[in-house]
Amino acid sequence: MYYVYILQSQSNPNHYYVGLTENIERRLKQHNAGNSTHTNKYLPWILTTAISFSDKTKAEAFEVYLKSGSGRLFAKRHF
């Protein structure tokens, strides 16, 4: 399974991060350990949303959508 996930910064609750992984627990630990240059400034992170896909292409397309302007609005309204 592939997971598109949304993290929220606990130190700056208005800051979110969208990503894609096959292992949510491991990826969250990596983010909170400061292993990602995109998220290490806003530690610690909590997982707010995870959506599973059996198809990698669909998961990648949804991740790209959530990172777009309309996708961010969608996520803000529904997640």
> How does pLDDT run across 12-57, given as a tens digit for each residue?
999 999 999 999 999 999 999 999 999 999 999 999 999 999 999 9
Given a contact cutoff of 8 angstroms between Cβ atoms, the answer to whether 18 and 66 are in contact is yes
Task: State residue 78's pLDDT score.
Answer: 92
Give me the residues paired with residue 46 across strands: 8
For residues 1 and 54, give the distance between their C-alpha atoms in angstroms, rounded to a whole number. 5
For residues 29 and 58, give the distance between their C-alpha atoms in angstroms, rounded to a whole number. 25
Query: Domains of the chain: which residue ranges?
Result: 1-52
DSSP assigned state of 42: G
Please check the confidence at residue 7 and state whether its pLDDT lies above 90: yes
| Residue where the block lists tokens 């996708």 | 71
- Tokens representing 72 are 């961010």
Task: State residue 53's pLDDT score.
Answer: 98
Task: State residue 21's pLDDT score.
Answer: 98
Please check the confidence at residue 79 and state whether its pLDDT lies above 90: no
